[in-house]
Every structure is written in C-alpha cells, then in structure tokens.
Amino acid sequence: MIEIKNLCKSFGDKEVLKDISAVFESGKTNLIIGQSGSGKTVLIKNLVGLLEPTGGEVLYDGRNFVAMDKKEKASLRREMGMIFQSAALFDSMTVLENVMFPLDMFSSMTLRERIHRARTCLDRVNLTGTDHKFPGELSGGMQKRVAIARAISLNPKYLFCDEPNSGLDPKTSLVIDQLLHSITHEFGITTIINTHDMNSVMGIGENIIFIYEGHKEWEGVSAQVMGSDNKRLTDFIFASDLLKKMRKAALEKGKTESFTL
C-alpha cells in the first residue's frame, strides 16, 4: 500500500500539486486521471523519487520515502517496477536481454537463473518464443508487453505505469489493461496507472483519483463514475457528445452500475 499525505509540489511560484492525500491499496489497479497539465506525471514522479515534494509524506507500507537517505531510497526503488509512456526498451538489445536488464543490474542470480526468470516473465505476458527478436521487429502492443515483463522481472511490490496505452488501438489497449489487472491481483502488487484512457477508467478503475488543477477533485471506483454529480469529473470523462448521450441514456434507464464504454 502507498499512502500520500498532504503532498505538495511547487516549481518556484507555480503550485502544481496542492495538498493531495490518497491511499493506493495493494492488489488493486489504482488510476490517476485528469486533464493534460493537471499534475499526474508530477505526482508519479514525486512518488518514485524523480522529484522531491515541497511538502507532505509518501508512505510505502508505512515507510516514509521522503525522509529516507539515499541508500534507503535506492533499496526501496528495487521494490518498484516502472512502465513508461513509450515502452522505453533498448533497441539494440534482444527481447530477452531487455527483460534480463534489471536482473543483471540488481539481482545476485546466476546467468542461468536470470535467463529462466526472464523467460518466465515473457511467458506470463504471452510472449513465449520472442527471446531473440529486437524491439523494432515487434508491434507496439508487443513492445508494451515486453516492458511489462521487464517491469515485473524483479517481483516488484509497487508498479507505476505512465500512460501504458498511449499509441495503442482500443483492442490492444484492452489486452494491456487486462494484463496489468491480472498481474496486479496475482502478485498483490500496488499498481498505479496514470491514464487518459476512458476504457481503462471504466474497465480496471478499482480506485480512481481525479486530479483537477493540482488538487484531488474526486475519488471512487469505476462503477461510481457514471452516477457521479461532480461536473468537473463528468465533463472530463464524458467529453464527447456521443459519450454524453450514452451517459444520459444509461442514467434514464437506471443503468449506472453496469455502464462500460
């Protein structure tokens, strides 16, 4: 579980995160949503230590990350997996080498054990047999799955995903969402996903934090989005006329709980 308490972040006079408190539970897909520029990436960067908060606490299962020294932070970082917007794979390395990279860097496993572990992770994301391919030979969805395999190679307790569906078609995005969801449940990971994807919100939003201009405007689960009377949230989620009409029709039929995009 990750808990943030009164988190603030400013750049000079510019206040980007304003007193955000939230709990991200383990074994759940926690989503951070919000308009472009609302502060989602800055929030994730504060969580993983790429930025220092101006105020507040970040607690990893009770351990205050902000107050840790460099060595303690480095050790906690080994419990984190990260998936970036672009899959951020090493183009000159094979798929297997990419997945082995964190193991090479941070584990004391033998070569045989590292290969075995990397292959197990590739099997888990349905990429058996792609060991010797290079990222450039794979589709965008397959590259994301390699990135997921790499992110779980060290058995992370915490998984951070920045826009995991960017650049993917809706069907492939669903595959990635389902994979992240099932891995999260299977291994009891605290997963935090920064997303714009409304299918993800409705499909895997087990805990949703909606950030508006740097503050937490709303939180809930996907089944509560539809019936919410928070106008900023519904304007954001149901941005197009088509979605507004679908929401209206579903509300009229009283189908707020079962609505999916």
Is 42 a binding residue for ligand ATP by CB under 6 A? The answer is yes
Residue from the set 2, 4, 16, 146 that interacts with ligand ATP by CB under 6 A: 16
> Which residues ranging from 83 to 142 are in contact with ligand ATP (CB under 6 A)?
none
Stretch that binds ligand ATP, among 37-45, 58-66, 164-172, 224-232 (CB under 6 A): 37-45
Least distance to ligand ATP from the beta carbon of 224, Å?
A: 22
CA–CA gap between residue 215 and residue 38 (Å, rounded): 8
Helix (H, G, I), strand (E, B) or coil at 29: strand
Q: What's at 60, amino acid-wise?
A: Y
In angstroms, rounded to a whole number, what is the distance separating the alpha carbons of residues 10 and 16? Answer: 5
Q: Does 216 bind ligand ATP (CB under 6 A)?
A: no
CB of residue 49 vs ligand ATP: minimum separation in angstroms?
A: 15
- Provide DSSP, 185-203: HHHT-EEEEE---HHHHHH
- The DSSP element (H or E) to which 245 belongs, if any, is helix 241-252
Least distance CB 174 / ligand ATP (angstroms):
21
In angstroms, the CA 133 to CA 148 distance is 16
Amino acid, single-letter form, for residue 70: K
Contact flag: residue 11 with ligand ATP (CB under 6 A): yes
Q: Which one of 30, 41, 98, 173 is in contact with ligand ATP (CB under 6 A)?
A: 41
- Taking residue 147's Cβ as centre, other Cβ atoms within 10 Å add up to 25
Question: What length is written for the chain?
Answer: 261
Residues 6+ positions from 258 with CB-CB distance below 8 Å: none
* Closest to ligand ATP by CB, 127 or 161: 161
- Provide the token pair at 134: 């290079």
User: Of 34 and 53, which has the nearer Cβ to ligand ATP?
Assistant: 34
Computed from CA positions of residues 74, 80, 83, 88, in that sequence, does the dihedral angle turn out positive or negative? positive
Segment contacting ligand ATP (CB under 6 A): 8-16, 169-177, 216-224, 248-256? 8-16
**Count of residues binding ligand ATP (CB under 6 A)?**
11
Interface with ligand ATP, residue 205, by CB under 6 A: no
Residue 36 within binding range of ligand ATP, rule CB under 6 A = yes
Among the listed ranges 30-38, 124-132, 176-184, 216-224, the one in contact with ligand ATP (CB under 6 A) is 30-38
* Amino acid, res. 195: T
Residues that bind ligand ATP (CB under 6 A): 11, 14, 16, 34, 36-42
